Amino acid sequence: MLTVHHLGISQSERIVWLCEELGLDYEFKRYERRADNRLAPDEYKALHPMGIAPVITDSSVKGGELVLGESGAICDYICGRYGGGRLAPGPDDPDFADHLFWFHWSNGTFMTTLMMQLVLSGGGKDNPAAVFVGDRSRRGWAMVEARLGEAPFFGGRNLTTADIMMVYCLTTSRAFRGTSLDGHPNLKAYLQRIGARPAYQQAMAKAEPGMAPMLA
């Protein structure tokens, strides 16, 4: 049995959404953040050596239960083992390269930049690192807006795991930063399309009950 271990208000919502899009039979376990420091509880940290979300376990693997972390790795694993070729275009698909870029850029560059910007917030013009990261963040948001003016989805014609990876960066993670989407009409329209998807609605109802998805 595939089990998705979801830490509240975290990147692991991606994996819940992925499983819902694929229509998988999976077990869902939700963990609340600690009240004192808003970090993961000890029970969640014990799942994986890094102690961070997301994490899945899979008891159907020969030789014992698999434990896997890292959003991109989990997306590839689930699509490869359970997806039947869905949500990840093959090398002969014209969208293959674009899908790969946005899938990896999401956490490799964009999410990393947003996290650095959060850590360096308040540095101002007197902090060269804050200036550098702020400029990189602005260029990242501009790339997002431009891409969504070119194609309906980050991966191209259809929803792919590139979207599964990107949407968290554009929605729930803003709860930590308060980033406005003003001046990004293409992104706003895209998020409305995502929010209308039944699988996304089902995933967010499971992952964040009582929290309205940050689609605007």
Fold of the CATH domain 2-87+201-207: Glutaredoxin (3.40.30)
Q: Residue 8: what pLDDT?
A: 96
CATH number of 96-197: 1.20.1050.10
Per residue in 77-104, pLDDT tens?
A: 999 999 998 999 999 999 999 999 999 9
Task: Tell me the pairing of strands 2-7 and 66-69.
Answer: unpaired
Cα-based distances in Å from 134 to 104, 108, 147, 171, 173: 21, 17, 20, 19, 17
Q: Residue 61: what pLDDT?
A: 87
What is the side-by-side strand order in the sheet with 55-58? Answer: 27-31, 2-7, 55-58, 66-69
Asked whether 18 and 78 are in contact (CB, 8 A), the reply is yes
Q: What is the mean pLDDT of the chain?
A: 94
Q: What number is the average pLDDT over the span 23-44?
A: 95
Q: Where in the chain is the domain with CATH 3.40.30.10?
A: 2-87+201-207
- Does residue 140 have a pLDDT over 80? yes
Cα Rg of the chain (Å, integer): 17
Q: What is the tally of helices (H) and strands (E) in the chain?
A: 9, 4
Q: Residue 177: what pLDDT?
A: 76
Q: pTM of the entire structure?
A: 0.94
Residue with the larger pLDDT of the pair 203 and 121: 203
- Does residue 123 have a pLDDT over 70? no
φ, ψ for residue 186, nearest 5 deg: -65, -40
Asked whether 155 and 89 are in contact (CB, 8 A), the reply is yes
Q: Residue 124: what pLDDT?
A: 64
Q: Residue 119: what pLDDT?
A: 82
Q: Where in the chain is the domain with CATH 1.20.1050.10?
A: 96-197
CA pair distance 91, 21, nearest whole angstrom: 22
Q: Residue 126: what pLDDT?
A: 73
Q: What number is the average pLDDT over the span 143-155?
A: 98
Q: Residue 175: what pLDDT?
A: 83
Please calculate the CA angle 114-116-118 and round it to the nearest 5 degrees: 70
Q: Residue 4: what pLDDT?
A: 98
Q: Residue 64: what pLDDT?
A: 82
Lookup result for tokens 């940290």? 45
Give CA torsion, residues 83, 86, 91, 93, to 10 deg: 170
Q: Which residues contact 163 (CB under 8 A, 6 or more apart)?
A: 102, 153, 154, 155, 194
Q: Residue 63: what pLDDT?
A: 78
